[in-house]
C-alpha cells in the first residue's frame, strides 16, 4: 500500500507535482500496445490527426506523440488516438500549454522539448478519457460535478458553469480551464478545446481541506483529532504488482467455473468528506471567525475551545478529553462527516430505477430516492442522503412523510426536517483531491437524537453494492458499460470474506431492462461460502433483515447464518431455495388486482410464509421513464423479498451474515440485489407496511 502525504504549499510546486503526476500516470493504462489492425486507413479525421493538422494544437500533438501508454508499452498516446475507439479529448491550445509551462518552470518561453516525461504524461493523460465501447462525452451530456468516467490518470474531471461578462454561459473544466470550442466530432471521439491545461490537485483529501481558504476550521479539527492521518491511502501497491490489469485475461483475469473475464485494473482507496465552511461555523455555532495574518490563522486556540464546547453539547456521552479518542466529542463530530469511499457528486444518490425517472434524462427527477452510508469512526453511524423533485438538492438526514398507498404517487405529504443541503461545489475552489472529494454544507452536521429515532426509524433499503465502498471508489458501481460481469478478487472488497471456491462478480447491466434495484446485481457462483458485514441499526429494538429473492430455475440454494461472532455464526431457519416458483404454496404470490383489500390479504398470506412482494418504488428501465414497478412484474422473472431474520438488534453490536451453498452444482447462482433493515415500528405498527 502506498501512503502519500502531500506537503505542497503552492499549487504548482514543481518537484512534488511532477513526482506525483508521474506516479499516477504510471498506474494508468488503456492497452499495453496499440493493435496496428485498429489503425484507421481510410480518409477522415481521427482525434490525433485533427490535433496534428491544426496549427493551434501542435504542442499538444507533440506531447501526445511522446507519451507512452504505460511503462510496459512502446505504443504512444498519439497512436491510440489514431486508432478505433471512443475518446473524449480536452485539448489545450498552444498558448495554454505555453502559459502552463512558463508558470510551472518560472521561465518565459520554456522549451517544450525539455519537459520531463512525467510532466508530459500528466498533461496528456489528464486531458483524455477512454470510453471503450461507450460513446464519448458531448457537452450536451455534461452535468455539474465530476464526469462519470475517470481520465487516463484515474482521476475524475469536474464540470462547472459560470457566466461570461456578456451573460453567455461558460463551461469550466476543473474550475480553471474554459471550453473554447465544444463538440468537435472526429471518427474516434469528441474534442473540446480548452484555454488552460487541466491541472489536477496532488493533495490528499485532508491536506486539500486544510489548504482551502474557507475550510480552515474543519481542516484544523481533522488535524487535531488525527482523522487526517486516517485518510492518506491512495492505491494498493501490492495489487499493482501482483495482479493482472483489466482485460488481460492471459495473466490472471477473473475465473468463474471456466469463464474468464476482466478484473479491475487498479485498487484505489478513497474518501469523501462533508465540510462546513468557516462561515457556517460562525453563523450557526457562533465560532470566532479565523483571523488571518500572512496566510496563517492567529486564533486557533479560541476557535477550538468554542468548537469543543459545542461538540460536548451535541455529544454529552463522549467524555474523553483526548481529541484523538473515538470517545471524544470533537472526534465523534468530525468522524460523522467522513465516508471511507470516493464518491462523485452525481452518485451521492443513485438515480436509476425509481418510478417516473428516466436515466437518459438525468436532470429531470421524480420521486425521492436515497442512499444510506456508514460513516467512519465510533460509534458506527449512518448518514441518509435524499434527493428528488421536491427536495431542492441533495439533503442529509431529511425526514418526510409520504403519500404511499397502492394507488398513490410516492410524493412527500409533509417535511418536518428539510435536511442539510450538500452544495455542488465550493465556489471557485478546488474540491477534487488525489484520493477523494469534499463537499461543503449549508448547516452544521450532527448526529442528534432525531437522526436515529426519527430519520432512520424507517425501512432502510440498501443496494448490496452500497456496502462495498471499494466498488464506488474504483468507479465500478454504476459503471456505464454493458460488460456482463466484473469479477472481484478476494481481498479487494472491504467487509467481505469468502473461500477460494467462491466466485464473486458484479453485473452492472447498465442499459438493460432487468427488474433490478438500481439496474445492477452481484452474482456469486461456485461452491460458495462467504460472509459480509451489515451496516449498523440506528437504535436498540426489534428488526427484520430481508433480502431480494428471485425465483429462477438455474439459481441456487443456500443456508443463511447471522450473528456477531464472524467465526461462529448461527444458522437461521432452513436453507433458502431461489429455484422455488413464486406460485408455490410455500410462497403464495398472486398478481395484484384493483382490489386493495384483496392485495393486502395476499400480502398477509405471503408474510406468514416469510415472503413479501417486491417494491413499488422501482421498476425495470432501459433509460426511458420507469412506469411499471418491480412489484407488478409477472411472468418468468418475478422477484420477491424474503424475511431472513426477525429479532433484537442493537447499534453497539456488529452483525455478520454468512451464505453457504448446499448444492453440489457449482453453476447455480446466488444473486444479491438489495436488502432491507426494517424496525418493528414499520412492519408491526398500527397501519400495515406500505408497498413502496
DSSP one-letter string for 573-620: SSPEETTS-TTSTTT------S-HHHHHHHHHHHHHTTEEE--SSB--
Calculate the dihedral angle through the C-alpha atoms of 42, 43, 49, 50, rounding to the nearest 10 degrees: -140
Continuous H helices in 187-285: 205-211, 216-225, 237-242, 278-285
Calculate the dihedral angle through the C-alpha atoms of 443, 449, 450, 452, rounding to the nearest 10 degrees: 110
Residue 120: pLDDT over 90: yes
Q: Please identify which residue in the block is written with the cell numbers 501542435.
A: 58
Q: Please identify which residue in the block is written with the cell numbers 455542488.
A: 424
Q: Which long-range contacts (CB under 8 A, 24 or more apart) does 176-184 make?
A: 177/90, 177/92, 177/96, 179/90, 179/139, 180/93, 182/138, 182/139, 183/138, 183/139, 183/140, 184/50
Its pTM stands at: 0.91
- Give, in degrees to the nearest 5, the angle at Cα 506 between 200 and 23: 25
**Of the ranges 143-157, 397-411, 461-475, 570-584, the best mean pLDDT one:** 461-475
The more confident residue out of 23 and 420 is 420
Q: Please identify which residue in the block is written with the cell numbers 434495484.
A: 517
- C-beta atoms surrounding 296 within 10 Å: 10
- The two beta strands, 369-374 and 382-387, are antiparallel
Tens of pLDDT, residue by residue over 21-54, are 444 444 444 446 675 555 544 448 999 999 999 9
Average pLDDT for residues 515-519, to the nearest whole number? 91
CA distance 553 to 331: 51
| Least reliable range by pLDDT among 68-77, 113-122, 333-342 | 68-77
Give the C-alpha distances (Å, rounded to integers) separating 527 from 484, 500, 548.
Answer: 21, 9, 21
Name the region of 252 (left: φ>0; alpha: ψ -120 to 50; beta: rest): left
* Torsions phi, psi for 119 (to 5 deg): -70, -40
* Torsions phi, psi for 516 (to 5 deg): -105, 145
- C-beta atoms surrounding 648 within 10 Å: 11
CB-based contacts of 53, cutoff 8 Å, min separation 6: 45
CB-based contacts of 418, cutoff 8 Å, min separation 6: 395, 398
* 383 sits in which H/E element: strand 382-387
Q: Please identify which residue in the block is written with the cell numbers 462546513.
A: 276
DSSP summary character for residue 408 = S
Let me know: does 426 contact 212? Beta carbons within 8 Å. Answer: yes
- Starting at the edge strand found earlier in the chain, the sheet holding 271-275 runs 338-339, 271-275, 436-440, 432-433
Confidence of residue 244 (pLDDT cuts 50, 70, 90): low
For the chain, the distance separating the N- and C-terminal CA atoms, rounded to the nearest angstrom, is 43
The more confident residue out of 392 and 34 is 392
pLDDT more than 70, % of the chain: 91
Residue 19: pLDDT over 70: no
- C-beta atoms surrounding 320 within 10 Å: 14
DSSP summary character for residue 451 = I
Q: Among 538, 387, 393, which Cα is nearest to 454's?
A: 538
Grid coordinates given for 283: 453563523
pLDDT at 497 (0 to 100): 96
- The two beta strands, 436-440 and 460-463, are unpaired
Confidence of residue 107 (pLDDT cuts 50, 70, 90): confident
The more confident residue out of 9 and 255 is 255
3 state SS of 138: coil
Question: Which residues are paired to 675 by β-bridges?
Answer: 462, 547
Residue 484: pLDDT over 70: no
Let me know: does 183 contact 414? Beta carbons within 8 Å. Answer: no
pLDDT at 271 (0 to 100): 98
- C-beta atoms surrounding 670 within 10 Å: 23
Average pLDDT for residues 126-143, to the nearest whole number? 92
Confidence of residue 260 (pLDDT cuts 50, 70, 90): low
Average pLDDT for residues 91-112, to the nearest whole number? 93
Tens of pLDDT, residue by residue over 614-651, are 999 999 998 999 999 999 988 767 899 999 999 999 99
Tens of pLDDT, residue by residue over 181-239, are 999 999 999 999 999 999 999 999 999 999 999 999 999 999 999 999 999 999 999 88
CATH topology for 203-231+270-444 is FAS1 domain (2.30.180)
Question: 2-194 belongs to which homologous superfamily?
Answer: FAS1 domain (2.30.180.10)
CA distance 650 to 633: 35
Let me know: does 656 contact 532? Beta carbons within 8 Å. Answer: yes
Per-residue H/E/C for 511-526: CCCCCCHHHCEEEEEE
Grid coordinates given for 110: 520554456
* Torsions phi, psi for 59 (to 5 deg): -65, -45
Grid coordinates given for 309: 464546547
pLDDT at 684 (0 to 100): 93
Average pLDDT for residues 384-402, to the nearest whole number? 97
CB-based contacts of 559, cutoff 8 Å, min separation 6: 571, 575, 576, 659, 660, 662
The more confident residue out of 636 and 77 is 77
Mean pLDDT score across all residues of the chain: 90
Confidence of residue 483 (pLDDT cuts 50, 70, 90): low
Residue 240: pLDDT over 80: yes
What is the Cα 627 distance to its own chain's centre? 26
pLDDT at 613 (0 to 100): 96
Calculate the dihedral angle through the C-alpha atoms of 140, 144, 150, 155, rounding to the nearest 10 degrees: 140
CA distance 19 to 686: 63
Residue 255: pLDDT over 60: no
3 state SS of 440: strand
Average pLDDT for residues 144-149, to the nearest whole number? 90
pLDDT at 347 (0 to 100): 96
Q: Among 538, 522, 504, 548, which Cα is nearest to 639's?
A: 548
Amino acid at each position: 500500500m502506498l501512503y502519500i502525504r502531500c506537503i505542497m504549499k503552492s499549487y504548482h510546486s514543481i518537484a512534488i507535482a511532477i513526482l506525483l503526476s508521474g506516479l499516477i500516470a504510471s498506474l494508468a493504462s488503456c492497452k499495453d500496445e496499440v493493435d496496428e489492425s485498429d489503425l484507421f486507413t481510410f480518409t477522415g479525421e481521427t482525434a490525433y490527426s485533427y490535433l496534428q493538422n491544426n496549427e493551434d494544437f501542435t504542442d499538444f500533438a507533440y506531447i501526445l506523440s511522446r507519451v507512452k501508454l504505460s511503462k510496459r508499452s512502446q505504443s504512444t498516446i498519439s497512436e491510440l488516438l489514431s486508432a478505433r475507439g471512443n475518446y473524449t479529448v480536452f485539448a489545450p491550445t498552444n498558448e495554454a500549454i505555453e502559459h502552463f509551462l512558463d508558470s510551472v518552470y518560472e521561465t518565459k518561453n520554456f522549451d517544450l522539448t525539455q519537459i520531463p516525461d512525467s510532466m508530459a504524461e500528466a498533461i496528456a493523460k489528464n486531458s483524455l478519457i477512454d470510453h471503450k465501447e461507450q460513446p464519448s462525452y458531448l457537452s450536451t451530456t455534461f452535468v455539474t460535478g465530476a464526469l462519470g468516467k475517470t481520465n487516463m490518470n484515474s482521476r475524475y474531471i469536474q464540470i462547472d458553469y459560470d457566466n461570461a461578462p456578456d451573460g453567455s454561459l461558460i463551461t469550466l473544466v476543473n474550475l480553471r480551464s474554459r471550453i473554447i470550442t465544444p463538440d468537435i466530432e472526429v471518427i474516434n471521439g469528441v474534442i473540446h478545446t480548452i484555454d488552460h491545461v487541466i491541472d489536477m490537485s496532488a493533495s490528499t483529501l485532508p491536506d486539500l481541506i486544510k489548504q482551502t481558504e474557507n475550510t480552515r476550521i474543519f481542516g484544523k479539527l481533522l488535524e487535531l483529532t488525527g482523522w487526517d492521518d486516517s485518510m492518506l491511502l491512495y492505491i494498493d501497491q501490492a495489487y499493482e504488482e501482483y495482479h493482472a490489469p483489466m482485460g488481460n485475461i492471459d495473466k490472471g483475469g477473473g475465473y468463474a467455473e471456466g469463464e474468464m473475464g476482466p478484473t479491475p485494473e487498479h485498487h484505489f482507496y478513497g474518501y469523501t468528506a462533508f465540510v462546513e465552511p468557516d462561515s457556517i461555523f460562525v453563523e450557526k455555532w457562533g465560532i470566532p471567525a479565523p483571523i488571518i495574518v500572512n496566510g496563517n490563522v492567529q486564533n486557533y486556540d479560541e476557535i477550538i475551545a468554542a468548537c469543543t464546547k459545542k461538540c460536548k453539547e451535541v455529544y454529552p456521552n463522549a467524555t474523553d478529553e483526548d481529541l484523538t479518542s473515538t470517545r471524544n466529542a470533537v472526534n465523534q463530530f468530525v468522524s460523522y462527516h467522513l465516508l471511507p469511499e470516493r464518491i462523485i457528486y452525481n452518485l451521492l444518490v443513485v438515480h436509476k430505477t425509481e418510478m417516473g425517472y428516466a436515466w437518459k434524462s438525468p436532470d429531470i427527477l421524480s420521486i425521492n430516492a436515497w442512499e444510506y452510508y456508514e460513516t467512519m469512526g465510533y460509534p458506527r453511524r449512518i448518514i441518509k442522503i435524499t434527493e428528488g423533485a421536491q427536495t431542492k438538492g441533495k439533503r442529509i438526514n431529511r425526514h418526510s412523510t409520504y403519500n404511499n398507498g397502492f394507488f398513490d404517487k410516492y410524493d412527500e405529504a409533509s417535511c418536518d426536517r428539510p435536511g442539510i443541503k450538500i452544495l455542488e461545489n465550493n465556489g471557485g475552489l478546488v474540491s477534487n483531491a488525489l484520493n477523494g472529494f469534499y463537499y461543503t454544507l449549508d448547516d452544521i452536521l450532527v448526529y442528534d437524537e432525531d437522526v436515529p429515532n426519527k430519520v432512520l426509524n424507517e425501512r432502510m433499503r440498501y443496494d448490496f453494492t452500497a456496502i462495498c465502498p471499494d466498488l464506488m471508489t474504483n468507479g465500478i458501481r454504476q459503471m456505464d458499460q454493458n460488460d456482463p460481469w466484473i469479477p472481484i478478487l478476494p481481498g479487494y472488497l472491504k467487509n467481505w470474506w469468502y473461500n477460494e471456491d467462491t466466485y464473486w462478480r458484479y453485473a452492472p447491466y447498465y442499459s438493460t431492462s432487468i427488474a433490478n434495484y438500481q439496474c445492477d446485481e452481484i452474482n456469486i457462483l461456485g461452491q460458495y461460502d462467504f460472509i459480509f458485514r451489515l451496516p449498523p441499526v440506528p437504535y436498540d429494538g426489534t428488526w427484520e433483515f430481508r433480502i431480494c429473492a428471485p425465483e429462477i430455475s438455474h439459481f441456487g440454494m443456500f443456508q443463511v447464518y447471522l450473528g456477531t461472532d464472524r467465526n461462529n455464526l448461527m444458522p437461521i431457519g432452513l436453507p433458502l431455495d431461489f429455484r422455488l416458483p413464486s406460485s408455490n404454496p410455500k410462497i403464495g404470490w398472486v398478481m395484484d388486482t384493483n382490489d386493495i383489500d384483496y392485495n393486502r390479504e395476499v400480502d398477509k398470506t405471503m408474510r406468514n410464509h416469510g415472503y413479501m412482494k417486491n417494491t413499488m418504488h422501482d421498476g425495470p428501465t432501459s433509460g426511458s421513464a420507469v412506469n411499471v414497478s418491480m412489484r407488478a412484474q409477472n411472468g418468468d422473472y418475478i422477484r420477491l423479498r424474503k424475511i431472513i431474520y426477525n429479532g433484537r438488534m442493537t447499534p453497539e453490536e456488529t452483525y455478520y451474515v454468512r451464505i453457504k451453498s448446499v448444492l453440489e452444482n457449482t453453476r447455480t447462482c446466488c444473486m444479491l440485489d438489495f436488502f432491507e433493515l426494517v424496525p418493528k415500528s414499520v412492519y408491526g405498527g398500527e397501519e400495515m407496511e406500505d408497498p413502496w
